[in-house]
Amino acid sequence: MSITTTDKNITTQVASSIEQRLKADATPQRLQALQTLNTLQLPTTKNEEYKHTPLTRLLEKNFTFANEISESTLRAEDLNSLLIDGLEADRIVFVNGKFNESLSSAKSSTSLKIVPLKEAIVSSDLARQHFGAYANFKEDAFTAWNTAEWLDGFFIHVDDNVVIDKPVIFYHINDTQAGEVRSSIRNLIVVGKNSEVTFIEKFDSIGSGNHLSTLVTEGVVHENAGLNYYTIQNDKGNRYQYGLMEFYQKNSSRVNTYTFTLDGKAVRNNLHLKLDGEGIESHMYGLYLLGGDTLADNHTVVDHKKPNSFSNELYKGIMDGNSKGVFNGKIYVRPDAQKTNAFQANRNVLLTDKATVNTKPQLEIWADDVKCSHGCTSGQIDEEAIFYLQARGISKETARAMMLYAFAGEVLDNIKHPALHAYIDKLVSERLHKNF
């Protein structure tokens, strides 16, 4: 692949900035990741995995890649307006990529260990064993960027045979009132045997400046354990985001992921599940409501390595204005993964002639005794149904919102947590009842 001079310049600029930040923490892994970043180069649209997402060009246009971290004056009362109403959760707050202890409430307990990641990879054999074992920075330049640069994050270990009743929620807040913000966060999660836990991520910003985040979350879900992971991207600021979530699943484990992209300038979500055991069940749900010139790109991978497991993936998109949606879903069924059931669907509604979606479902199967399917649809709202509702006294705007809400409802109905369901349902309903 050829790299233009401009592409090299931005990679060199980013790498130089990372080197300045690494002066006090230049571990061998960070240095290796930085070298990999320089080798791979930040991807352009000539790269197949980023052909519809010019993230590198957008970053070059909108960021200076300064080394300093913008200071924030965020107060507790400012945080209150960003909290999810009615949600009882252990709170971990990052402001401009740095953990803010005074705004956080999550504490370690006998069954739930919450330890700063930098501390854990020095003091914990378990953290060292799993850190970097799943998120492979040698394959993606943005993951290499995060691995080299991450400044803060946590190691969270759920002991065996426990159910954590309250979710753990990560609030990612960017305060750009003093200038652009760039943050890199890294989290590691280990869910013990026969245990259950729920995590939530929520992204918000204050100020009108640009903000860029790279966030990598990796971990392992052990035998007969359950993990629910919700991501809420409703940041109305100038957010540019790269995220990778990668989980390794063992026998009879259960993982449910929910990705809601409701706002942001350019958002790239990579979600990878490795099903390395029997009796595994995985569900991946996504909903993206895009307006203006928002770009949202969801890339997913489900890798079936062993027999007798099940995966189901449903992503839906509604695009208005000049927005652009991208969905690329891969399912791998390895030779040993007989009796696999794997299903994938991506459905989209385009509300304007200028809105676009690029969707690419992929199946690669090396086993012969499987049930697998994939499909995608893209179309416009049903005008006949709108007319039918208008004939019964419903305004066109309300009829349109009702139709779109019914379309989104197939994803919303799968949210298991009552308070979270009410919150996201309200967000989506309000969004659909006004032009976005």
**Distance between CA atoms of residues 143 and 165, nearest Å:** 32
**Distance between CA atoms of residues 266 and 11, nearest Å:** 19
Average the pLDDT over 64-90 and give the result: 84
Tens digits of residue pLDDT in 347-378: 999 999 999 999 999 999 999 999 999 999 98
71 vs 107, which has greater pLDDT? 107
- Report the percentage of the chain scoring pLDDT > 70: 97
Average the pLDDT over 11-30 and give the result: 89
**Distance between CA atoms of residues 252 and 226, nearest Å:** 9
Average the pLDDT over 91-120 and give the result: 95
Average the pLDDT over 401-429 and give the result: 95
- pLDDT value of position 394: 86
Looking at residue 403, its amino acid is: M
Q: Are 215 and 244 in contact (CB under 8 A)?
A: yes
- pLDDT value of position 1: 36
- pLDDT value of position 309: 98
| Token output for 142 | 């943005």
pLDDT at 46 over 90: yes
pLDDT at 2 over 60: no
Average the pLDDT over 236-262 and give the result: 95
- pLDDT value of position 79: 87
> Bridge partners of 333?
304, 365
- pLDDT value of position 196: 98
Residue in 219, 163, 218 with CA at minimum distance from that of residue 196? 163
**Distance between CA atoms of residues 79 and 143, nearest Å:** 29
Average pLDDT score over the chain? 93
343 secondary structure, DSSP code: E
Q: Domain coordinates of the chain in residue numbers?
A: 5-275, 383-436
Task: Please report which confidence band the pLDDT of residue 8 belongs to, taking 50, 70 and 90 as the band edges.
Answer: low
Q: What is the 3-state secondary structure (H, E, C) of 116-128?
A: EHHHHHHHCHHHH
| Token output for 46 | 């000539």
- pLDDT value of position 5: 42
Average the pLDDT over 290-310 and give the result: 97
**Cα separation of the two ends of the chain:** 38
pLDDT at 45 over 50: yes
- Report the percentage of the chain scoring pLDDT > 90: 81
Q: Are 166 and 196 in contact (CB under 8 A)?
A: no
- pLDDT value of position 7: 54
**Distance between CA atoms of residues 85 and 353, nearest Å:** 37
Average the pLDDT over 83-95 and give the result: 95
Task: Please report which confidence band the pLDDT of residue 435 belongs to, taking 50, 70 and 90 as the band edges.
Answer: low
Task: Please report which confidence band the pLDDT of residue 66 belongs to, taking 50, 70 and 90 as the band edges.
Answer: confident
**Distance between CA atoms of residues 253 and 226, nearest Å:** 6
**Distance between CA atoms of residues 20 and 34, nearest Å:** 12
pLDDT at 144 over 50: yes
Task: Please report which confidence band the pLDDT of residue 201 belongs to, taking 50, 70 and 90 as the band edges.
Answer: very high
- pLDDT value of position 389: 81
**Distance between CA atoms of residues 287 and 265, nearest Å:** 16
pLDDT at 6 over 90: no
Average the pLDDT over 301-330 and give the result: 97
| Token output for 14 | 């980013």
Helix axes 55-62, 5-21, angle to 10 degrees: 70
Average the pLDDT over 5-33 and give the result: 84
204 vs 390, which has greater pLDDT? 204
